[in-house]
Amino acid sequence: MRFLRRFSLQSRSYRKRYVKDYDFMETVPAVEANLKEHGFRNIGGHFVDASKITNMLMLSADRAHYAYVLPFQPTPMQKLLASSSSEELLNTIMVEYNQLSDDDRSEVIKYLGFGSNQNLPTTHPAVARTFIDVANLLPNVDPTVLLPLLKRASAMEFDSSSNCIKQITTSIEYNINELGLIDCALLHDTLNKKYSSMYSNSSTEALLKARGKVLFSQMEIQNYHGQDNFDLDDVRIVCLLMELLDYPAQTSLLSTLEGALYNSAMDRGDSEIMALIECVLVGEVLLKDAERNKRSKSLSKYSKHFQTCEIAALVSAVTGCHYFSTDVTVPEISARVESLTLGLSNLISSSGDVELLTEYEERMEIYTDKLESLDVRNLGGIYALLNNQDIQQMYRIKDASYSDRAPVKLSSALLPSL
């Protein structure tokens, strides 16, 4: 009995010691725990709303532990491209100018050289400042910026003796192997029209023409081998290439021009003055080509169109000049039209064949009567008409594609039965 009593006393003492030594639990009322979870703190026996402070401390702890990535801010170039008006574009250039790198400023010059941006005032501080800073980088600039830089310089009326134009021509020679075929044609056209006194018979002209001939020969070789290549389908670009290449004797480029004219026949025409200018420009180029290369003027005896002669595009251009100039009274253009008409007449008369000249006059009278009853839209339409094409049917097919409904309604009798 004593042993059992002593054992029970010892077990009680052990039980008490175990609970006393390892008693780490602390009970908190449920109301106090809920308030503490929502940011309240017990200060001096009163619960105070300290949620703002606790939330700030928790947020700072999260930021210290996790990496928060700030959203990307638009770059200055993205802000420029997002401009909705010319005024906003110029203001954005002024505000973001110091953040633009040299490459960005070159891109700005290229962006200002296309579309409606070409009409921005050249005296505006944003345009002038960007132009001067990019011009100071010459010749170490992207070759694609040379053309818009030259156009902007001509719009700002820089003289051919100015340091800016000299730097641009030097950069063209320096980067000649980086220029494409169309770039060479456009640079040659701009320099020849704006700075002919300095450009004519210069090393820059020789290099541009040599570069153009090399690129065009490579393009012909690729076409011959059936490799993928771009199609020249712009009438103005083809004319500029003919001028750059000194009116090549091969008929490949002339055929390309005729194909571009035919493909543009169904385009929706611009104003009559624009169509007249296109006829004059194309006619002057083709007249020089026909005179230099002595293109064939022979006509087919079995038809009344101009499809067989090599000057069909030239005849179309002269015809278009008279067709679109009925309501246009611009002395300079009228003088060029008369000169172009006289050149075509002399070209046909130079063959000495009276019957050929008579045949041209008879066919022109036939198509003049046809044009009086037609509404031709552009030079391509006149070329298609003079080459025995039904231009009215071509217009109907093209206009039908712009209609919301089908031009032909199928009868229910034609539908297959189920």
In whole angstroms, give the CA distance from residue 208 to residue 197.
16
Whether residue 1 has pLDDT greater than 70: no
**Tens of pLDDT, residues 164-186:** 899 999 999 999 999 999 999 99
Q: What is the pLDDT of residue 244?
A: 93
Q: What is the pLDDT of residue 117?
A: 65
- Check residues 23 and 90 and name the one with the higher pLDDT: 90
CB atoms within 10 A of CB 293: 15
Whether residue 366 has pLDDT greater than 90: no
Judge if the upstream peptide bond of residue 139 is cis by omega within 30 degrees of 0.
yes
Pairing of strands 40-43, 46-49: antiparallel
Q: What is the pLDDT of residue 342?
A: 92
- Residue 152 pLDDT level (bands cut at 50, 70, 90): confident
Q: Where are the domains of the chain?
A: 29-53, 83-230, 245-403
Q: What is the pLDDT of residue 16?
A: 47
- Residue 405 pLDDT level (bands cut at 50, 70, 90): very low
| Averaged pLDDT score across all residues of the chain | 81
Is 173 within 8 Å of 204 (Cβ atoms)? Answer: yes
**Tens of pLDDT, residues 335-352:** 899 999 999 989 988 878
**Tens of pLDDT, residues 251-297:** 888 888 988 898 888 887 677 888 889 999 999 999 999 999 999 88
Q: What is the pLDDT of residue 19?
A: 46
19-43 mean pLDDT: 72
- Residue 4 pLDDT level (bands cut at 50, 70, 90): very low
The torsion angle over the Cα atoms of residues 38, 43, 45 and 49, rounded to 10 degrees, is -30
Whether residue 310 has pLDDT greater than 60: yes
CB contact set of 133 (below 8 Å; sequence gap of 6+): 102, 105
Q: What is the pLDDT of residue 391?
A: 80
104-118, 299-313, 383-397: which range is least confident on average? 104-118
State residue 164 phi and psi, 5-degree precision.
-65, -50
- Residue 24 pLDDT level (bands cut at 50, 70, 90): low
44-61 mean pLDDT: 82
Q: What is the pLDDT of residue 185?
A: 93
DSSP 403: S
In whole angstroms, give the CA distance from residue 134 to residue 361.
56
- Check residues 193 and 116 and name the one with the higher pLDDT: 193
